[in-house]
Amino acid sequence: MDFMLIELVLWGGLLFFFWALKDGLGNVESDIESLGFLPGNKQRMQSRQELGVVRPERVSEPIGSYRDCPIYRYAVIQGRTYQFDRICPLESEMRLEPGEHYIAPGLVYQECRKQTDAI
């Protein structure tokens, strides 16, 4: 009978320990998410939406593909010509310089400086 009581007390303590651990880890996870350390978190996605994913008016010269989407050498965005510069994966930090636009699924285009670069 004493072993049964000891075992019940130990099981109760173990359940309380797991409950306290789960509650504490949930708070740590929310703190980490609020700081933005997790890849692909909502805060990063909102910043991408704030930067604005643009859709080109015209594209020309396919040069490859990325994530099953074609990469074009040139794109016309808001009447200006842009040239493909680099790929910016969804998981990475995205930093756009002035004169650059982000096109889904992760393509960065830079404005053409020379008139000879135009389409």
What residue ranges do the domains of the chain occupy? 2-38, 47-117
User: What are the pLDDT digits (tens) for 52-98?
Assistant: 678 888 999 999 888 888 899 999 988 889 998 888 876 667 677 78
Residue bearing tokens 């309380």:
16
- What would the 3-class secondary structure string for the chain be? CHHHHHHHHHHHHHHHHHHHHHHHHHHHHHHHHHHCCCCCCHHHHHHHHHHCECCCCEEEEEEEEECCEEEEEEEEECCEEEEEEEECCCCCCCCCCCCEEEECCCEEEEECCCHHHCC
**What integer pLDDT is reported at residue 43 of this predicted model?**
47
Nearest to 55 by CA among 42, 65, 40, 69: 69
Question: What mean pLDDT is predicted for residues 36-47?
Answer: 51
**Mean pLDDT (whole number) for 35-54:** 54
